Amino acid sequence: FEQDPVLGDLNVKNALEFKAKYVELNPLGKGGCGSVFNGYRKSDKLVVAIKHIPNENIYCTHFDESGRELSVEVAVMLKLQSGTSNSAGSKAPITLLDWYVLPHELILVLERPMPASDLHSYIERRGGSLKESEAKMILKQLVEAAIHLQDEKIFHRDIKLENILIEMCSGTPRVRIIDFGLSCFTEKNSTHKTFCGTDRYIPPEWLSQYKYSAGPTTVWQLGIVLFECLHNKNFSTSSYMKRQIKMDNRLSKDCKDFLRKCCTRDPKERPSLEQIHLHPEGFPDLRDELWTTIRYYISRYAMVTENMMDQDVSSFMGKFGKVVNDSEYNRVLGLLKKSRGVMSEWS
């Protein structure tokens, strides 16, 4: 990736400033886009992760509102932090603390939750698989994080065990999302024709049609994460398509049905993130899509006006791919009017 002038503002942030502010220590890992090191901030000894990305691995750039040219990874992380407090860790996505644009590389200084480990290591320390109850708890947090990304029009594209941190500072596992190096900005129903992600988790629709969309692909990836949480084996799309991967018969029926639904070949048959999120047990039966949509509408828009409902219910339902006939429309409208002004019992 040739860049002259380089991304960002060298007059503000350069190698000397980085070395004056941070100490870099031992390597933590190396991926396809760069290397990550342990480190700390000199002023307060805050532990950080320092990611070095060679310029040739910066494939996409983005212009922000002020006209600055940023790597998409930086732009995405800044978008996710907009409107929040300055304290790191307020949301599931990891926080970008600083970035430095150098002649040959980009340096990201990232929040490093402590104590924490990636989900793959977390599972390995528990014997290679998790109990269904713990997997449900992790899945719920992942779905909430995925909905947050969707609301911000961000497509991570590479959700997998290694890109999920489990933070244990409170004693209860807390999910954090890392590595936005392959992420992009997108609309909910936009189609992507260039695959970016981990090859063995590639969605079937890309193999058959060479295109995929953010929502169904994210659900596919969440299904794979859940599968690998519950089975002491790796998932691969090619093996799954050849029916060489079997589910553990000891799993509950709801769990097995849910896995099949998330990992179905047809992206249109997969549940939406909203459907997954609203089911109290974590594994929706998905037999009544209308009720799921009603619950989502009320939980997100509990304080609504009658005029708003009259105008927007049909378009809102259509937004979730539900064809609304007259009787269903009237049913939804009645339920929403009945719930107007109060927080739903489901939310």
Give residue-wise pLDDT tens across range 204-213.
999 999 999 9
pLDDT, mean of residues 196-208: 95
> Does one domain contain both 192 and 297?
no
Q: Which of 89, 111, 133 is the last residue of a domain?
A: 111
User: 223 with 83, same domain?
Assistant: no
Higher pLDDT, 295 or 110: 110
Residue 127 and residue 192 in one domain: yes
E strands in 168-313 = 174-177, 184-185, 191-192, 212-213
Residue 5 lies in a domain: no
Is residue 211 assigned to a domain?
yes
Of the candidates 209, 115, 99, the residue with the CA atom closest to the CA atom of residue 169: 115
Query: Are 216 and 175 part of one and the same domain?
Result: yes
CATH of the domain at 100: 3.30.200.20
CATH number reported for the structural domain that contains residue 142 in this entry: 1.10.510.10
* pLDDT of the residue at 64: 72
Q: Is the pLDDT of residue 329 over 70?
A: no
Catalytic residue among 158, 288, 310, 326: 158
d(CA 192, CA 186): 9
* Residue 7 included in any domain: no
Let me know whether 126 and 266 are in one domain: yes
Looking at the structure, do residues 139 and 217 belong to the same domain, yes or no?
yes
What are 119-170's pLDDT values in tens digits? 999 999 999 999 999 999 999 999 999 999 999 999 999 999 999 999 998 7
In terms of domains, do 139 and 241 share one?
yes
Least Cα distance to 5 among 103, 74, 76, 73 occurs for 103
Residues 255 and 188 in one domain: yes
* Residue 39 lies inside a defined structural domain of this protein: yes
For residue 36, the enclosing domain spans 15-111
Query: Is the residue at 10 inside a domain?
Result: no
Note whether 257 and 168 are same-domain residues.
Answer: yes
Please count the structural domains in the chain: 3
Question: Where is the domain boundary, 76, 111, 146?
Answer: 111
- Is residue 346 situated within a structural domain? no
**Residue (of 266, 277, 326, 320) closest to 299 by Cα position:** 277
**264 in a structural domain:** yes
Please confirm, yes or no, whether 158 is among the known catalytic residues.
yes
Q: pLDDT grade, residue 176 (50/70/90)? A: very high
Final residue of a domain: which of 228, 243, 278?
Answer: 278
Scanning 90-234, the segments in alpha helix (DSSP H) are 119-124, 132-151, 204-209, 214-230
Element (H, E) at 44: none
**221 and 199 co-located in one domain:** yes
H helices, E strands: number in the chain: 12, 14
pTM flag (> 0.75): yes
CB 156 within 8 A of CB 80: no
Structure tokens belonging to residue 36: 């990550």
Beta-carbon neighbour count of residue 341 at 10 Å? 10
Quick one: 38 and 161 in the same domain?
no
Q: What is the pLDDT of residue 87?
A: 59
Residues 124 and 95 in one domain: no
Domain membership of residue 247 (yes or no) is yes
